[in-house]
Amino acid sequence: MGYKRTEVGLVPEDWSISTVGAEFRVQLGKMLDAAKNQGVSKPYVGNRSIQWGHVNVDAIETVSLTPVELNRFLLRRGDLLVCEGGEIGRAAIWNDPIPECYYQKALHRLRPIRGYNSLLMMFLLRLWATTGFLTNFATRTSIAHLPKENFETIPLPVPLDHEQRAIVEALSDVDKSLESLDALIAKKRAIKKAAMQQLLTGRTRLPGFSGKWERRQLKHVLDCLDHVRIPLNESQRAKMPGSYPYCGANGVLDYVNDFVLDDDVILIAEDGGYFDEYTHRPIAYRMSGKIWVNNHAHILKAKSGYSQGFLYLSLVHKNILPYLASGTRAKLNKSEMNKIEIYLPLQVAEQTIIAEFLLNMDSEITALEQRREKTHAIKEGMMQELLTGRVRLIEPSDQLVKAGVAP
């Protein structure tokens, strides 16, 4: 089977080319709030509710709707909702999680006219958003918009019906793998968070340990190595490209050809840190090996008799807001940092085992995240191949085995 050149590039000879408007009835939403009328309070879906491939039910709101408008904007199972503004093209299928729900402006609702697979359309939108194809049809004010009249003119490849179903099945199977990984990662993170709350406070003790815990200020358990810090501006770093991490307040900023330290250290922001987001973002991070550190991060090293891993875990999500100097930018001065208290067991063996236990959980989560990234990359590659017809499917499972997703 050969290929032909079309408005969307090379496609198989047995695929036809149509347009979005010819295959779907496109209905743009409308602001339905009826402040001047006696409306009926109903749930509605806005732009924020639509994420790639799913509807965020938590973002669904209730609005007063004019009764005469209700039927026109009522959702039904299988409707494809597409963001008209912002991240144009972001799309999800409405699967009726909330009865009698409506949609508002900044969303297109698509319903097939002659059988085009809505899930296939959703995958195409994702591909077009990734490749930048959609920007050819967008207008821009302060944000990008995809007007209905432009959206309907977008050329659309039309595989044969059985091939549409096969493509959708293959890509949906990968989506299910991603959803399972997301759920497992979320579960592992929750377990780790609970374990940290128990083990780093002494509320739960590991077998074999019963010794005393005490509060110690950082100056008694950590050495500060700030004297080795040297800031480099962007132009200076551009003249010394290399492989050594250049570290700032919240992580690695660049890579340079020299280092100021070769050690296992904890870095905590002096300024510019995520101090007020400590519950869900790290305020400290750990680096090992040859690094260069600028003057926006304090450098800490455990004193003899203390576990570096335990001290890092005790700081990574710690509330240190009471120790910050106020001003235009919150700052953790060295003198105040030294006063921060850590609650810890006096036996370094217990500190070490607690740290190893929690860091092993971190490693499991990292491995799952890497697996998810690999699966996502596989999906992106499959979309490029399947949605352009470069790879043809006989059975969806064949493609999944080749891609390494299915056993």
- CATH number of the domain at 216, please: 3.90.220.20
Do 227 and 193 fall into the same domain? Answer: no
What angle is formed at CA 231 by the lines to CA 226 and CA 232, rounded to 5 degrees?
155
Instruction: Count structural domains, the chain.
Output: 3
Calculate the alpha carbon distances from 364 to 185, 189, 264, 370, 371 in Å: 9, 10, 21, 10, 11
In the 8-state DSSP scheme, what is residue 7?
T
Range of the structural domain that residue 181 is part of = 161-209+348-407
Do 171 and 226 fall into the same domain? Answer: no
Do 12 and 137 fall into the same domain? Answer: yes
Task: Output the pLDDT for position 407.
Answer: 40
Do 246 and 145 fall into the same domain? Answer: no
CA distance 259 to 225: 14
Task: Output the pLDDT for position 211.
Answer: 87
Do 396 and 330 fall into the same domain? Answer: no
Residues 83, 105 contacting (CB under 8 angstroms): no
- Domain CATH for 355: 1.10.287.1120
Task: Output the pLDDT for position 65.
Answer: 64
Task: Output the pLDDT for position 142.
Answer: 81
Task: Output the pLDDT for position 331.
Answer: 93
In the 8-state DSSP scheme, what is residue 345?
E
User: Residues 6 or more apart from 322 whose CB is under 8 A from it?
Assistant: none
Do 105 and 198 fall into the same domain? Answer: no
Do 340 and 241 fall into the same domain? Answer: yes
Residue indicated by tokens 């074999």: 208
Calculate the alpha carbon distances from 220 to 228, 307, 326, 379 in Å: 20, 13, 25, 51
Do 286 and 299 fall into the same domain? Answer: yes
Task: Output the pLDDT for position 3.
Answer: 92
What angle is formed at CA 319 by the lines to CA 317 and CA 321, rounded to 5 degrees?
135
Model-level pTM?
A: 0.82
CA distance 319 to 21: 54
Task: Output the pLDDT for position 399.
Answer: 47
Structure-block tokens of residue 146: 């995809």
CA distance 160 to 36: 50
CA distance 286 to 290: 12
CA distance 169 to 165: 6
Do 244 and 282 fall into the same domain? Answer: yes
**In the chain, count of helices (H) and strands (E)?**
10, 23
CA distance 253 to 287: 13
CA distance 75 to 102: 5
Calculate the alpha carbon distances from 233 to 173, 246, 256, 384 in Å: 47, 11, 12, 40
Task: Output the pLDDT for position 136.
Answer: 93
**Cβ atoms within 10 Å of 220's Cβ, excluding its own:** 13
SS3 category, 94 = coil
Supply the Cα-derived Rg of the chain in whole angstroms.
27
Do 239 and 381 fall into the same domain? Answer: no
Residues 123, 167 contacting (CB under 8 angstroms): yes
Q: From the first residue on, what is the mean pLDDT of each consecutive set of 10 residues in the chain (407 residues)?
A: 89 95 93 55 86 89 68 90 94 90 90 96 96 91 90 96 95 96 96 96 92 95 97 96 96 97 97 93 96 97 96 96 84 96 96 97 96 96 95 61 48
Task: Pick the last residue of a domain from 295, 327, 346.
Answer: 346
SS3 category, 196 = helix
CA distance 345 to 74: 60
Residue indicated by tokens 């919240």: 250
Calculate the alpha carbon distances from 52 to 112, 128, 176 in Å: 20, 13, 13
**Cβ atoms within 10 Å of 346's Cβ, excluding its own:** 13
Q: What residue type is 116 in one-letter code?
A: Y
Do 10 and 154 fall into the same domain? Answer: yes
Do 219 and 330 fall into the same domain? Answer: yes
Annotate 143-163 with b (16+ C-beta within 10 A) or e (fewer).
ebbbeeebbbebebbbbeeeb
What angle is formed at CA 151 by the lines to CA 171 and CA 102, rounded to 5 degrees?
80
CA distance 98 to 171: 26
